[in-house]
Amino acid sequence: MRISKKILVTMIVPLLAVFLFASEGLAQKKGFDDKEIRIGSWSPQTGPAAPWGATSRGAKLLFDIVNEQGGIHGRQLRLFIRDDQYNPSQTMAGVRDLVDRQGVLAFVGGVGTAPALAVRRYLAQNKIPLVSVMTGAEHLNFPHNPWLWALWPLYDDDASVMAKFLVEKKKFKKIGMLYQNDDYGLDPLAGVQRRLKTYNMELAIAVPVEPIERDLSSQISRLKAAGVEAVIGYVAPTQAAIALRSSVAIGFRPQWIHSYNLTDFSLMNHITDGLWAKEGVMTTAFTEDILDFKIPKMKEYADAAKRLAPGERWGIFYAAGITAGEPLVQALKQVGRDLSPEALVRELNNINNFQGIGPRVTWTATNHLPPAEFRIWQCGPKGEVIVLQDWTKNDLPKKR
């Protein structure tokens, strides 16, 4: 009899606990009150992709600056960052925790295609806006998602502008491509091919790289054997650095041009022993130069970073977090004191020609696509930014 009682208690206690927690989870908490607005963000703070985690901390800096200036219509901004280690299952856990238990009005940033894909439906079901999601992968934006506003330009557009520049301005005839063998590399591969077709050209060679690869000797030998004059790179910073080192090691010195994700010249120059500058590597860019302190906003943010987050490096990912947060802050300002999720959505859809330190953004109720304007930069001899081509819109977007 005593044993059966024990069993009964053992079964009832966890069931009761589950019930209590579940009942809390079912009632979604409000993401704001009279004093504060709660915003969520996920990014890898630990693990191999951790450098990208600076984006969430950049958004936090922006919120801290806004709070220093009195907040938005009397409310302070509070950012909750969840470390997902770039693992979609952990992204889901973190996002659910923030939505169900903490209560957030919106999410800002959010790094990575796979993590964003994992949570986009859940956020839409719960009517939580996901603002400035940090991936340019195409299928996140199609079909139109009324709860997702994109700021990261589509890789397809980026690569198309890059290819046009190489052919029209630099007159290269033999172009190769080194691309990451997933959406990050396959979308731009299609963009480059479509652009080259308009000149009756084809890629001389396209060589895939897996994200975890650390030895790229055979890929570089293949590019060299194809005799390409320029290589479009769509790989992560580590692979880009290894590729450059490997090509120099075998005396292969084409013109390298990389995606806008590799515009941190200071970091890239550092980890390539100065080769990034020596070889004059080019990149596209969709933000202002983060070291151009003649831009008042840039100086304000960099000074604030020194004061409020002295441990942070003023790098491109950190600044990208600020870029992601700016349209959200603008929309919250436009809402006024009568805040509600519906009002926030209305004002996000009214973001018109807004520009902070990032690109010009226009969102409407039916168009949440990111900007398609880019600049072309080159790493100068001292690691500085040389603007080779100013803002240029992709005039050959993919028909969708």
| Longest Cα–Cα distance in the chain | 89
Distance separating alpha carbons of residues 250 and 282, to the nearest angstrom = 21
- Could you identify the residue written with the tokens 């909750």? 80
Q: How many chain residues touch another protein (CB under 8 A)?
A: 40
DSSP assignment of 58-93 equals: HHHHHHHHHHHTT-BTTBEEEEEEEE-TT-HHHHHH
Out of 2, 5, 171, 214, point to the residue binding another protein (CB under 8 A). 214
219 is an interface residue for another protein by CB under 8 A: yes
Tokens representing 350 are 């009214």
Beta bridge partner(s), residue 148 = 130
Please give the C-alpha separations between residue 105 and each of 30, 55, 119, 195, in angstroms, as whole numbers: 7, 19, 15, 41
Part in contact with another protein (CB under 8 A); list of ranges 148-156, 203-211, 280-288, 364-372? 203-211
Asked if 273 touches another protein (CB under 8 A), the answer is yes
According to CB under 8 A, which one of 210, 292, 300, 395 is a site residue for another protein? 210
Does residue number 238 form part of the binding site for another protein (CB under 8 A)? yes
Please report whether residue 47 would count as binding another protein according to CB under 8 A: yes
Any contact of residue 241 with another protein (CB under 8 A)? yes
Could you say whether residue 249 binds another protein (CB under 8 A)? yes
Instruction: Kindly state the tokens that stand for 96.
Output: 């659910």
C-beta closer to another protein: residue 43 or 141:
43
Order of strands across the sheet with 230-234?
Answer: 205-209, 175-180, 230-234, 255-258, 282-285, 373-379, 385-393
Tell the smallest beta-carbon distance from residue 98 to another protein (Å).
23
Q: What is the dihedral of CA 114, 118, 120, 121, to 10 degrees?
A: 150
Q: Compute the least distance from the CB of residue 248 to another protein, in Å.
A: 5
Query: Which of 125, 218, 340, 364 is in the footprint of another protein by CB under 8 A?
Result: 218
CB 390 within 8 A of CB 376: no
Considering only residues 284-343, where is the footprint of another protein by CB under 8 A?
313
Q: Is 237 in the site for another protein (CB under 8 A)?
A: yes
Element (H, E) at 386: strand 385-393
Interface characters, 160-179, with another protein (x: CB under 8 A): --------------------
CB of 288 to another protein, least distance (A): 22
Q: If binding is defined by CB under 8 A, does position 181 make contact with another protein?
A: yes
DSSP-derived secondary structure letter, 399: P
* C-alpha dihedral sign at 218, 214, 154, 360: negative
- Work out whether 251 is an interface residue with another protein (CB under 8 A): yes
Q: Does 140 bind another protein (CB under 8 A)?
A: no
Rounded Cα distance, 265 and 280, in Å: 11
Asked whether 86 and 49 are in contact (CB, 8 A), the reply is yes
What are the backbone dihedrals phi and psi of residue 250, each rounded to the nearest 5 degrees, phi first? Answer: -110, 20
**Least Cβ distance, residue 142 to another protein (angstroms):** 26
- As measured in angstroms, the least distance from the Cβ of 54 to another protein is 8
Q: Is 222 in the site for another protein (CB under 8 A)?
A: yes
Our CB check for another protein shows the closer of 229 and 312 to be 312
Does 56 help bind another protein (rule: CB under 8 A)?
no
User: What separation in angstroms does the CA of 193 have from each of 151, 196, 222?
Assistant: 24, 5, 19
Does 270 bind another protein (CB under 8 A)? Our answer is: yes
Q: 3-state DSSP call for residue 323?
A: helix
* 227 makes contact with another protein (CB under 8 A): no
- Segment 82 to 111, residues that bind another protein, using CB under 8 A: none
221 binding another protein? (CB under 8 A): yes
Interface pick for another protein out of 118, 128, 207, 385 (rule CB under 8 A): 207
Cis, peptide link before residue 143, omega less than 30° from 0: yes
Helix (H) and strand (E) counts in the chain: 13, 12
C-alpha count within 13 angstroms, C-beta hemisphere, residue 362: 4
Q: Contact region for another protein (CB under 8 A) — 123-131, 182-190, 213-221, 364-372?
A: 213-221
Segment near another protein (CB under 8 A); pick from 87-95, 168-176, 201-209, 354-362: 201-209
Q: Does 209 bind another protein (CB under 8 A)?
A: yes
State the residues that interact with another protein by CB under 8 A: 46-51, 53, 181, 207-210, 212-215, 217-219, 221-222, 224-225, 237-238, 241-242, 245-246, 248-251, 267, 270-273, 275, 313
